[in-house]
Amino acid sequence: MITIGFGLAVAVGTALLSLPPATRSGQRADLVDALFTATSAVCVTGLVTVDTGSYWSGFGQAVILLLIQAGGLGIMTLATLLTVLLSRRLGLRARFLAQAETKSLDLTDVRGVVRRIVLFSLASEAVVAVALTLRFATAYDQPFGAAVYNGVFHAVSAFNNAGFSTNADSLVGFVADPWVSLTVAAAVILGGLGFPVVFELARTWRRPALWSVMTRITVVLTVSLLTLGTLVLTLTEFSNPRTLGPLSGPEKLLAGFFASAMTRTAGFNSVDVGAMRPDSLLASDVLMFIGGGSAGTAGGIKVTTFGLLAFVLWSEMRGERHVHVGSRRVPGSNQRQALAIALLGVGAVVTATFLLLAITPYRLDVVLFEVVSAFGTVGLSTGITGSLPPEADLLLVVLMFAGRIGPLTLASALALRDRTRRFELPEERTIVG
């Protein structure tokens, strides 16, 4: 149902963007461009084959904005409701204990859950839109109507981790502006945390001992990856004359933090990504592949998947039979789900990179960056998207669609298919490594 729903949304978006009024020229858009843009918007990715501000008309941009909103709300709602659905598969005693200890979402209040998600999303977008509108109107002398439009567009795009911008250079013009950069980064981080985590933090932020395993992993890894990404990207690009080189010390740190936050997976850029050094691109690949929080608008394999695998590795190195996160033991089924999602993600990235290298003339680091950005629904690009052949665009369309709904549907399918085996075969160890 999730796959069909997102597929229908992409089809409707493609049809609307194929209409002549959707382009500024009044001519019908190329079908591949319309399909690529619609998929990127619904999957809240941000990769584009044509410039959003100059190619699409006001009608076309409104369609893109609605597709972003539908895709972002759809992901948050479906992921949260699937969490509720999977929780119902627990035994009655376990469900009561889980609710009593974590004060989680009411398993019977589906309407309430959806209502709170919609209100939370719209309220967050409204706050960001007001802040950006005031800045655009007062500091950049934009007419009030244009400031409101740009503020709303970037607020919706940021909160939903889409990365679409009406500016041809994204947010490069605001690289030294902390008001715009930090506001957009805050919206991206908030949307990427996920509604269950935000909802739990709103009630128990003063009592970390009561946090669930998902909230604990999401918060710790989000802060850690943001900090590590800021340090790595700032240091690797510190003296690059085409990116951070001309900026002052505080401005370099701001730009480094913004770049780190955008890999979580928003797609805005305040420096030229194509001018980054190979080591910076590789660091960004890792951050984009990990992505953001579960049940949020971010993509990637999710920080919960990565964090859970890190705890599995730590427990294995210590020789422990069970994996513990805080005061909780993680079931083996969760560990297998995380491993399956991570390995399938690696397989998808490697396969798509091989195919793109075969049909395009670009070097490995650039192609890998584009592939990881599409799979992680990030939207960052080194600038090659618009010059790719149609078959490469279609490959990225498939990758964006799979990267958006793949981890969600795969995790839920694996969890719902978990069943007890009524017999066991004789055990035999094999050599590993």
Residue 431 located in a structural domain: no
On whether residue 142 sits in a domain, the answer given is yes
- According to DSSP, the residues that pair with 330 across neighbouring strands are 323
Asked if the structure places residue 135 within a domain, the reply is: yes
How far apart CA 57 and CA 259 sit, in angstroms, is 29
Considering only CA atoms, which of 400, 214, 230, 158 is closest in space to residue 299?
400
Concatenating the DSSP letter of every residue in 46-86 gives: ---SS-HHHHB-HHHHHHHHHHHHHHHHHHHHHHHHHHHHH
From residue 149, give the alpha-carbon distance in Å to each of 154, 166, 395, 424: 9, 10, 33, 62
Q: CA of 150: how far to CAs of 157, 171, 183, 298, 419, in Å?
A: 10, 12, 14, 22, 50
**pLDDT of 287:** 96
366 lies in some domain: yes
CB of 13 closer than 8 Å to CB of 266: no
User: How many structural domains is the chain composed of?
Assistant: 1
Kindly state whether residue 426 falls inside one of the protein's structural domains.
Answer: no
Q: What is the per-residue pLDDT for 93?
A: 47
**3-state secondary structure (DSSP) of residue 328:** strand
Please check whether residue 427 lies inside any domain of the structure: no
**Distance separating alpha carbons of residues 37 and 43, to the nearest angstrom:** 10
- pLDDT at res. 417: 64
Quick one: pLDDT at residue 6? 87
Q: Report pLDDT digits (tens) over 132-186.
A: 999 999 999 999 999 999 999 999 999 999 999 999 999 999 999 999 999 999 9
Q: Is residue 155 part of a domain?
A: yes
What is the Cα–Cα distance from 362 to 359, expressed in whole angstroms? 9
pLDDT tens profile 363-397: 999 999 999 999 999 999 999 999 999 999 999 99
pTM: 0.89
| 424 part of a folded domain | no
pLDDT of residue 94: 43
Asked if 298 contacts 197 with a C-beta cutoff of 8 angstroms, the reply is no
Q: What is the DSSP string of 340-398?
A: HHHHHHHHHHHHHHHHHHHHS---HHHHHHHHHHHHTT----SS-GGGS-HHHHHHHHH
Q: What is the pLDDT of residue 82?
A: 65
Write the CA distances from 48 to 72, 124, 125, 173, 387, integer angstroms.
18, 25, 23, 19, 11
Range of the domain at 166: 2-416
Q: What tens-digit pLDDT sequence spans the chain (433 residues)?
A: 778 888 899 999 999 999 999 999 999 999 999 999 999 999 999 999 999 999 999 999 999 999 999 888 887 777 666 666 555 544 444 444 444 433 344 545 566 777 788 888 999 999 999 999 999 999 999 999 999 999 999 999 999 999 999 999 999 999 999 999 999 999 999 999 887 888 888 888 888 888 888 889 999 999 999 999 999 999 999 999 999 999 999 999 999 999 999 998 888 999 999 999 999 999 999 999 999 887 778 889 999 899 999 999 999 898 888 888 877 888 887 888 888 889 999 999 999 999 999 999 999 999 999 999 999 999 999 999 999 999 999 999 999 999 888 777 776 666 666 666 778 888 888 887 7
d(CA 184, CA 46): 15
